[in-house]
């Protein structure tokens, strides 16, 4: 069962997921839904929808070499930079930041996109006596800006739009499971 609140506030699950088997289709439909009603702020709805997609991705593929996160929990209150956390292969904390962008050609920067907050919050809240060993940024942007990559080095793993397409596009098992997870969590009007 999905824990993210979006699984319970989605306006129209069928409209969002029927026949969907590509990241771009999902994001286009999600953006359209985010603009269609006023109950939620459009960018928040859009971001939350992407966050639940990533929750499902982690639950389904967390054991793969690209992700390596188990026991994932979304963080939905006091958004100070960490959108969720789980544990790495050695049991160490693994924090997650999720950034949805309509422009998949954009690059994320440390300051404008608050990646610095993610890194700082990871270390201050989840690091304990030492630094957090694992941090992953999931995004529909093209990448993390070169300056930010240089600043963080190998500290932040980035799974950008191209990586997500490789994992999700045409992956019928993923989309069927995601739909099933959403249906089990979904509350209709």
- What pLDDT is recorded for position 85? 97
**Helix or strand run (H / E) with residue 161:** helix 161-168
Tell me the pLDDT tens digit for each residue of 35-48. 997 788 999 999 99
Given a contact cutoff of 8 angstroms between Cβ atoms, the answer to whether 164 and 140 are in contact is: yes
Task: Tell me the per-residue pLDDT of 54-81, one tens digit each, with 9 for 90 and over.
Answer: 999 999 999 999 999 999 999 988 778 9
Query: Is the pLDDT reported for residue 12 higher than 80?
Result: yes
Amino acid 189: pLDDT: 42
In order, the DSSP letters of 113-154 are TTHHHHHHHHHHHH-TTS--SEEEEEESSSEE-HHHHHHHTT
What is the dotted CATH code of the domain comprising 6-185?
3.40.1350.10
């Amino acid at each position: 069962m999905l824990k993210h609140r979006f699984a319970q506030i989605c306006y129209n699950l069928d409209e969002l997921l029927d026949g969907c088997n590509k990241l771009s289709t999902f994001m286009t439909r999600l953006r359209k839904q985010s603009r269609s009603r006023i109950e939620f702020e459009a960018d928040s709805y859009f971001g939350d929808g992407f966050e639940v997609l990533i929750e499902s991705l982690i639950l389904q593929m967390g054991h793969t070499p690209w992700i390596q996160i188990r026991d994932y929990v979304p963080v939905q209150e006091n958004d100070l930079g960490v959108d969720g956390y789980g544990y790495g292969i050695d049991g160490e904390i693994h924090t997650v930041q999720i950034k949805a962008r309509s422009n998949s050609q954009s690059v994320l920067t440390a300051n404008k996109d608050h990646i610095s907050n993610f890194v700082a919050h990871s270390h201050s809240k989840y690091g304990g006596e030492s630094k957090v060993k694992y941090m992953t940024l999931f995004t529909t942007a093209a990448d993390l800006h070169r300056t930010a990559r240089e600043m963080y080095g190998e500290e932040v793993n980035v799974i950008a739009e191209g990586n997500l397409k490789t994992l999700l596009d045409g992956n019928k098992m993923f989309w069927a499971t995601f739909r099933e997870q959403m249906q089990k969590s979904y509350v209709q009007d």
